DNA sequence: GTCAACCCGATTGTCTGACATTCTTTCAAT
DNA sequence: ATTGAAAGAATGTCAGACAATCGGGTTGAC
């Protein structure tokens, strides 16, 4: 009777594992926008069967991370500037609201968590690791959303997160954007820590406007 | 030169068909909250294979209409009043914004479409067909969201629609709620048709507050 | 040479069947 | 009654198969 230290709290299924891997791959730009994902290839690469892969693809489809057209299969959707604008507008709705709610109900230990993530972003911003910048920035907002007191708001935002991160990655590569972003996020943090709802909303809105402008520049420079 | 009447209706796949059927079944309360969905049974009832069913279930899981716990399978989540509140709050954010935007940019033919859907809801409200009421009410808001000029706003709302419809079904069964709802929706319609942004936002907000109150009553009466 | 029809390979949609793993429930032993 | 173990049910995953469909290239007609 060997004491198998098998404390798997949540048994990661192949499906979950696959969704995670593909999400990360899409997020880090392994697949070009518009490119098609061939099932048999993915199966081979991931070492899984088609049914399992297809289940994972359905999950990703629902997240809008891929598109599945009947008889043509899954592909990476191309993001237009128009769509980016729409996303930033919805982000504004959601994040401004979340920041305000968060400021109204924040607890000390959550403030600490926020500060910690801000420090992490600061470190990332100092480096040139844009992936780390994107991740830490996402963390910062995730904490806010997680503490806004509305699980649906958080859920909806998470549904947008992949695409948000995509744009964030682009705009962070602009010179000076990370530093500027850091300052804006500090404003948000301070307003929340102070419990100032109005200031939190305002800071959040200002941050988004600037992020949007940065994203526009970075996108247009590519096209 | 004969205009090929081949209006490429997108080929309904078994998966899509199944998602639609199950979604409808969940709305109309065929499954009790908390009850488990046994794959083999569903396969037999729907006349499809397990892989197809499982794909459909993954889609529904992403819509949060069902929950899938590893090794325990899919089940209908029990809806809490807390969650319902959260959904109504997010609905308010989204729909108020959409109604305002819609009022600012509506075109005559879209006004006509809105009116048509309002008439349809009126007919449904007069009858006692609560499924029809839910469907037509969803149509009404779908038109608004589709014409708000922000595809992401529409997408996010659609992601919530399943659960919205669920609550709508509950509250519509309250005596007088359908009629009251009709009056509120008429207000929204008129404000949009008049291009009055402020009035549209206000009417939309009022409608949601009342719907929320009705939902609360209908949920509490069950618990 | 251009354009259209046609055919073929590639890919997807779907099914059947199978098997190991993991619950659940029943039943027996203490 | 509590516990534990065995039986049964349901899920997670795979392999393989086949028809329907799509995309691209070749052929044929003008």
Interface A–B counts its CB contacts (< 8 A) at 83
pLDDT of residue A24: 85
Between β-strands A67-69 and B67-69, what pairing exists: parallel, antiparallel or unpaired?
unpaired
pLDDT of residue A11: 61
Return the half-sphere exposure (C-beta side, CA atoms, 13 A cut-off) of residue B165.
29
Q: Which string of DSSP letters, residue by residue, matches A26-83? A: HHTTSSPTT-B--HHHHHHHHT--HHHHHHHHHHHHHTTSSEEETTTEEEPPPPPHHH
Length of chain A: 223
Report the residue from A11, A86, A151 with minimal CB separation from B151.
Answer: A86
Residues in A closer than 8 angstroms to B11, CB to CB, are: 70-71
Looking at the complex, report in whole angstroms how far the Cα of residue B15 sits from the nearest Cα belonging to chain A: 10
Looking at the complex, report in whole angstroms how far the Cα of residue A32 sits from the nearest Cα belonging to chain B: 22
Residues in B closer than 8 angstroms to A58, CB to CB, are: 15, 55-56, 58-59, 62
Enumerate residue ranges in chain B where pLDDT < 70. 1-11, 222-223
Whether the CB-CB separation of A60 and A22 falls below 8 Å is answered with yes
Q: Report the distance separating Cα B9 and Cα A163, nearest Å.
A: 29
> Taking CA atoms, what residue in B is nearest to A153?
B90
Return the SS3 of B73: strand
- Could you tell me which residues come within 8 angstroms of residue B120 by beta carbon, excluding any fewer than 6 positions away? B136, B139
Q: Is the CB of B75 under 7 A from strand D?
A: no
Question: How crowded is residue B126: how many other Cβ atoms within 10 Å of its Cβ?
Answer: 12
**pLDDT tens for the 223 residues of chain A, in order:** 333 333 445 568 999 999 999 988 887 778 988 999 999 999 999 999 999 999 999 999 998 999 999 999 999 998 888 988 999 999 999 999 999 999 999 999 999 999 999 999 999 999 888 888 888 999 999 999 999 999 999 999 998 987 888 788 878 888 888 899 999 999 999 999 999 999 999 999 999 999 999 888 887 776 5
Length of chain B: 223
Amino acid B52 CA to nucleotide C22 C1' distance, rounded Å: 22
Contact B97 A97 (CB under 8 A): no
pLDDT of residue A217: 86
Q: Report the distance separating Cα A96 and Cα A198, nearest Å.
A: 10
The rounded radius of gyration (Å) of the Cα atoms in chain A is: 19
Contact A16 B97 (CB under 8 A): no
The rounded radius of gyration (Å) of the Cα atoms in chain B is: 19
> Closest Cα to residue B187, out of B127, B80, B114?
B114
Q: Report the distance separating Cα B166 and Cα B65, nearest Å.
A: 9
Q: Report the distance separating Cα B144 and Cα B208, nearest Å.
A: 15
Residues in B closer than 8 angstroms to A51, CB to CB, are: 51, 54
Q: Is B174 left (phi over 0), alpha (psi -120 to 50) or beta?
A: beta
Q: Report the distance separating Cα B99 and Cα B141, nearest Å.
A: 9
Looking at the complex, report in whole angstroms how far the Cα of residue A158 sits from the nearest Cα belonging to chain B: 11
Q: Which nucleotides of D are covered by protein (CB under 7 A)?
A: 10-17, 20-23
pLDDT of residue A162: 78
pLDDT of residue B11: 61
- Can you list the domains of chain B with their CATH numbers? 14-75 (1.10.10.10), 81-222 (1.20.120.530)
Nucleic strand D contact set for A 127-156 (CB, < 7 Å):
none
Q: Report the distance separating Cα B54 and Cα A57, nearest Å.
A: 12
- Could you tell me which residues come within 8 angstroms of residue A79 by beta carbon, excluding any fewer than 6 positions away? A33, A163, A166, A167
> Closest Cα to residue B98, out of B56, B32, B157?
B157
CA of B41: nearest nucleotide by C1' is D10
Q: Is the dihedral of CA B206, B208, B211, B217 positive or negative?
A: negative
Q: Report the distance separating Cα A151 and Cα A15, nearest Å.
A: 24
């Amino acid at each position: 009777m060997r004491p198998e230290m098998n404390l798997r709290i949540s048994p990661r299924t192949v499906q979950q594992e696959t969704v995670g891997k593909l999400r990360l791959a899409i997020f880090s730009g392994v697949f070009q926008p518009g490119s098609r994902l061939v099932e048999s290839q993915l199966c081979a690469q991931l070492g899984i069967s088609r049914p399992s892969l297809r289940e994972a693809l359905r999950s990703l489809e629902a997240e809008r991370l891929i598109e599945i057209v009947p008889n043509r299969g899954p592909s990476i959707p191309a993001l237009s500037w128009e769509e980016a604008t729409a996303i930033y507008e919805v982000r504004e709705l959601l994040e401004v609201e979340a920041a305000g709610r968060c400021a109204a109900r924040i607890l000390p230990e959550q403030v600490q968590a926020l500060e910690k993530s801000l420090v992490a972003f600061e470190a990332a911003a100092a480096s040139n690791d844009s992936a780390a910048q994107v991740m830490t920035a996402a963390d910062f907002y995730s904490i806010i959303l997680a503490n806004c007191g509305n699980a649906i708001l958080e859920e909806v935002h998470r549904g947008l997160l992949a695409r948000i991160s995509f744009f964030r990655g682009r705009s962070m590569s602009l010179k000076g954007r990370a530093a500027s972003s850091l300052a804006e996020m500090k404003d948000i943090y301070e307003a929340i820590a102070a419990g100032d709802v109005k200031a939190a909303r305002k800071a959040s809105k200002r941050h988004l406007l600037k992020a949007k402008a940065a994203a526009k520049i970075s996108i247009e420079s590519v096209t």
